Amino acid sequence: MNDKANTAKHDHDHSHGSAAHALLPSDPALRVKAIETLLVDKGLVDPAALDALIDVYRNKIGPKFGAQMVARSWVDPEFKQWLLEDATKAVASMGFSGMQGENLVAVENTDDLHNMVVCTLCSCYPWPVLGLPPTWYKSDAYRARVVVEPRSVLSEFGVELPDDIEIRVWDSTAEIRYLVIPQRPEGTDDMSEAELAELVSRNSMIGTDVLKSPGSA
């Protein structure tokens, strides 16, 4: 077994010059919650509508962009090569670009290699193609454990890989965000690009899921 972690320097230079920042918690999650509470208390935001909007972007709109990208790579070898060489431009060619997606790197799962993505210092994440990061991705437990015991973490997600498959962990930073191209499931040769996109899960593009053949349990 040869499990590796790409632990490139993770340097975040965030400027917080505004006096308003001093009134907010330092933890990003608590800060967002504090702002949300203020907006709700002032009647400017409907919490139910906000929750619905977050759910749509996290679980529907965002990941579907990534799924379309993966499906395109499965049916178009030239696009896959472009994606692996310059993910930022390849993704932008499909109309998916913006903040948190300026510098993307795509890594491909194979029969011998399984990739996983983490942000060990905060929650850097390719928003334009995956939507909002899931709560577990931002948790201290995932960020600390995936680089030292990726197989155990995968097992907790229900993924068991043979010992001879290398697991490589990529550390996203403020400068570079990684995304995984999962392997195309068997038994999908006759499926269209749109049908293939429906098979792609958000977690498979983070590396905590392995896609199964259609109809498999």
Q: What is the pLDDT of residue 8?
A: 45
Q: 124 an active-site residue?
A: yes
Strands 4-6 and 177-181: unpaired
Which one, of 98, 182, 107, 132, lies nearest residue 28 by Cα? Answer: 132
Q: What is the pLDDT of residue 141?
A: 95
Rg (CA), the chain: 18
Q: 152 an active-site residue?
A: no
- Whether the CA torsion 134, 165, 181, 178 is positive or negative: it is positive
Q: 26 an active-site residue?
A: no
Q: 123 an active-site residue?
A: yes
pLDDT tens track for 118-151: 999 888 888 788 888 899 999 999 999 999 999 9
DSSP 13-33: ------GGGGGS-SSHHHHHH
Q: What is the pLDDT of residue 4?
A: 58
Q: What is the pLDDT of residue 171?
A: 96
Residues of the chain short of pLDDT 50, as ranges, are: 7-22, 24, 101
Widest pairwise Cα distance in the chain:
59
Identify the active-site residue in 15, 93, 123, 204. 123
Which one, of 207, 202, 204, lies nearest residue 57 by Cα? Answer: 202
What CATH topology corresponds to 4-8+28-205? Nitrile Hydratase; Chain A (3.90.330)
Percentage of the chain lying above the pLDDT 90 cut: 54
| Cα–Cα distance for residue pair 121/124, rounded to 1 Å | 8
